[in-house]
Each structure stands twice: as structure tokens, then as C-alpha cells.
Structure 1
């Protein structure tokens, strides 16, 4: 490990290998997520009676994650919740119980890795006070950031309650990772995983646009460290179209202080775009200083080996590659995780 410039993957997920029955925990009817074990190394994530996603034990076993990380040359992973667990449609009391349960399980999953796995928490975002309280509890207990979904029902990220939560994250110096979820379903979108191939990019695009045109960025502190998954979805490709609409239809579109392109320095994106051409576009729009390695590990639509696109992209300079693989993530997290490992070993050595 290069302690000055460790390779950091800021977009991975976890699923615990067991958790209590959520209907009993919340005293509320389902459908709830549960895990149907297949073998020691395989399971099916269920939602009620429906199969949601097949899993392997690298979703919960730190030792297996570390083996893959070492093979890929990744020094640290940020572990975020699988969005299925968000429970935003539940009442606040139920969602608090679910969030606190999975947040505590995340710490257990990360503990054997001795600092190489960095947990992000989830919060009951439908209730601002509860979300802020759970964030505080988790940050005080060892989480280093928070993942939120890109919307709560019909409330997008410019919703006043969500803005208040994001301001609280800024005040506590907590990085926020925004992940698309709860995509619309229709006959057209239910073929070919179109919810993931079309719906997810569109959801992220819409949420970034809501923070712009809804005045969210105009109200939020510039200290907020915000990252959107999957390369910002379709947003980077359509910045020109949005600027054009802002200037030509100000009666409908010019609801922000500045045109959409003005706000690209207010957030970062990950690198899960899979090909050099979109990565080049992403760099042209966002700048190399706002792109971070993300793999979406351990899911099948993720990048493997992690970081291979950045490492092999011929148009990147050495400095740009270093930014995307390491230094941008250090700034986003607010610390160099290698320093924390070094401090831990030094502390134990002096006891």
C-alpha cells in the first residue's frame, strides 16, 4: 500500500449474512427484505416472496472482499447499504429501527478488515429529525459517511426536509453518496433490466437537476461533499441541452440563480461508466478533480477488476489518474484512510 496515495473505491455495497425478522422488529406487515440461504457461499436476497438478487458471500465476508481488493490493487473500499433496505415508504419509527439495525451490522462486517473497509450509514430520510439523529449516532460510532436514495417518494433532493438534512451533513463534515433507487416500473421498463439500464441513469439525472432548478445548490453550503453514483447518470451528456433550455425558456426553466453548467463544481461522480469514451466526456464536463473510482462491487453490473477503466484509459495523464484513483476520494472522505491505519498501529505499539 502506498500510504500517501492509496487506491480507494468509493462505491461498493454490503448485505449482512443474517438479520432479525423485520416484521417482528418493527411490528409492521411486509413485504420486508430477508435472506434465503442457498449454501455457505450463496444466498438469495428476497423481498417478501419475490427474488430480488442472488448474492455471494463476498457481500458480507470481509476476508473475501480483501482477497478481491488485493487482486484488483484496491487498498480501501467504502461500503454503502444496498438501497433495498432504505425503507423510505415506512413510517419514521419503523424506518429508524431498520436503519439502526443495518448500520450496526455494517460496523460488524467492516471490523475484521482493520480499517480497510469504510462504512457509510443509511438514515430514515423521510423524517428529517430522525435522519439527523441517526446520522449523529452513526458518525459517533464509527461510520465515515452516509448513503441516501435519490428521492423519497415524490420528494426530490430539493425538498426542504432533505435540504435540511444535507445541511446537517455539511455542518458535521460528513460526505454524502447519492444512489438511484425505486425506479419506475412499466411494461416497457420491465424488459432487459431496463429499469437499471435506462431508469437508473435517468433517476440520477433528475435528482441532480432538482438540486439545480429547485434551488437546492443555491441554498446549500458549498462545504457539502456530495457524490452521485454511476457517473452522474445521463446528466453529464445533457448539460448543453439543459443550459439551452435555461436560456431559451427562462419562464419555465430559469428557476436557479445560474444555468445548470454553473453547478458542476458542486458535486462529484464515480467512474462506473465502463468505457473510455464516456469517461472522457465525464472528464470534459466534470473535470478530473470531481471523478472518483467506483466499482459497484460486489454486484454483477459493476466494474471488474475495480479501477481498470481509469488505470487503462490512454488519454489520462499520470496526475489525472492519481486524482481519480486516490486523492479525490481522500478529499471527499475528509481524510486519508491509510493515515488512520498507521495511527491505529502506532497506538497499539505504544500500549
Structure 2
């Protein structure tokens, strides 16, 4: 019997050493014993609570949602890809070490993923290796570094290294474009995040990344892969009709859907059914975006209530696929 594994959760420490002498770096304003606010310079970024840093709170919530294991990844605002490589490395080390401390009270249930200075692929490989040796099981990366998408040669080199060392990769959208039209109604999160993930999957396919990377690479895209599943038909049509501009991958786009996974945090059965139809039940893993307000609670309710899924398929989505992705042993029945 598989464990129930949530592959998409985040942490924020309850404080960290000074990251830089510059005035635009993230810091934490402590508002009460259980509440705080992530600040970027003088601006509020996000209000958070102790479920971001307190293992006891996380474990209680996991118990309430019948979740056995969480993958605990960085909050993307801390990626710091716009810093110098040295600064990015310093910041990554600080947060990666604190992540181990947060997960330490329940090592068998809280699985840490590290961050790396992706702006410098060699340093990124170095930090990944250090973190794997220290107890991290994989890595979370942003979906781009400035104008460099996932088909950038340096990022591809890093992904090749992940495949070589067997590190699963979780890709999370971040640093969405801003404009007066996007600054209302959380539109950066509601339209920008799905579009960012869609664009990066296009880069992986049309940029020839899947053609160059070994099939052993384990890579998962957040938020159900963004808008990719809904628009795969449009992409496929363009690949055939505009070979001069779009038909640049070795195979049609639909032939790559088995090369990556997505999480299940799409919030309604119709969307989940589309994911199953497009990417396959074997390539979807439970995700919640815990503990943030746009996440799914109770965790896994859409999967559990999906009438079109068989019991076997539900078990795969709730944990079986993630056990393979993370190389975890299956739970033993007593």
C-alpha cells in the first residue's frame, strides 16, 4: 500500500542571518508568536504563520488531511537568481541548512528539497551535491533565470547533472511579469503562474531539452503543469502547420508527455480529468501548495472524490507515483 505523499509544499524559516547589505533582500517581520510577514525591502510580500516553520503544526495538519509525507521546498521569493553567483550561493546555503533543521523533528515524514544558485550552473551542481550528502532528497528550481528559460545551455547542464546523481527536480513558477493589468485580483498568480509553467514546458519540448536529456531525469512541474494540458492541441497543430517556426523538436509535442510529471493541485475534477487524459495517470502526483492560501485543503480531496478514477489510480496519484519519483519504499501493511 502506498503512502500519501504531498510533493508540493513550502517552508519559510522563522528568521535567518542577514542575506546582504542591500536594502531589497527578503527579511522576516515577526508580528506575533505565530504570525510573521515576508518583507522585500520595505514592501510586504506575504503574511505567513507558524505552519511555515513549525514541524509540529505541519504534522498536525498532515494528520488532519491523512497525509503521510510532505516534500518541503523553498518559497520561490528566496531563489535570488538576480544576485551575483556568490550571493546566490550564500543565500542558498543559509536556507538549505535551515530547511534541514525544520524537517529534522520528523525526518521520515518531512522530506527537504534544496534550492541552488541556478544563475551559475557549476555552483548549482556543487550546492546540489552538498545538499544531497546532507540529507536533502531533491531540488526545487524556478522556471527561468531572467530571460534564460529551461532550454538555456547552462540550465540544461544542471538538469543533466540532476539526472546523473538521481536528484528529482521540482519546477515552480516565479518572478512573474508585472503590469497595471496584472496587479489586480492576484492576476500574477491566477494568470501569470499558469502561463509561466506553460512557457517553460514549451522550452523543454521545442528547445530540444527532452531530446538531449536522458529519460532517467525525474522532473515535475507545479500547479498541474499550468495551462499546458489545455493548450497541447494548439501546440500540436502549430508544430505540424508551422514547421518553419514551431516544428523544431525531434518529435511532435504530444510525444513528450511521458517525460515529465505534474502535481494535482488543479482544484476541480474536470481539470484533473483533463490532466489524466493528456499526461497520463502515471505522471501525476498529489500536490497542495501547503501552507499558502491558494493551496488545496483538505489536501487530496479532489483526487479522493474523483469518480472517474479507479481505486488503483487514486492510490497512484495519492502516493504511488511519488514513491517512485522520490525513490521511497512503499508503506508496509501491518
TM-score (norm: length of structure 1): 0.94
1:6 maps to 2:14: no
Residues 1-351 of structure 1: matches in 2 within 5 Å?
4-23=1-20, 28-336=21-329
Residues 217-243 of structure 1: CA deviation (Å, up to 9, x unaligned): 100110000000000000000111001
Supply the distance in 2 between the matched residues of 1:279 and 1:31 (Cα, whole angstroms). 39
Residues 119-172 of structure 1: CA deviation (Å, up to 9, x unaligned): 000000000110000000000000000000000000000000000000000000
Supply the distance in 1 between the matched residues of 2:108 and 2:101 (Cα, whole angstroms). 12
Alpha-carbon deviation of 1:337? 7.2
Supply the distance in 1 between the matched residues of 2:307 and 2:330 (Cα, whole angstroms). 28
* 3-state SS of 2:183 partner: coil
Supply the distance in 2 between the matched residues of 1:196 and 1:130 (Cα, whole angstroms). 30
Alpha-carbon deviation of 1:30? 3.2
Alpha-carbon deviation of 1:338? 5.1
Note the aligned Cα RMSD (angstroms): 1.1
Supply the distance in 2 between the matched residues of 1:337 and 1:141 (Cα, whole angstroms). 23
For structure 1, which runs of at least 5 residues remain unmatched after alignment? 340-351
Residues 26-45 of structure 1: CA deviation (Å, up to 9, x unaligned): xx423010110011110011
- Whether the aligned pair in 1 keeps the contact of 2:128 and 2:139 (CA below 8 Å) is yes
Runs of 4+ with deviation above 6 angstroms:
none
- Whether the aligned pair in 2 keeps the contact of 1:76 and 1:337 (CA below 8 Å) is no
Alpha-carbon deviation of 1:259? 1.1
Residues 291-343 of structure 1: CA deviation (Å, up to 9, x unaligned): 1000000000000000111011111100110100011001111222758xxxx
TM-score (norm: length of structure 2): 0.98
Aligned residues between the structures: 333
- Whether the aligned pair in 2 keeps the contact of 1:115 and 1:337 (CA below 8 Å) is no
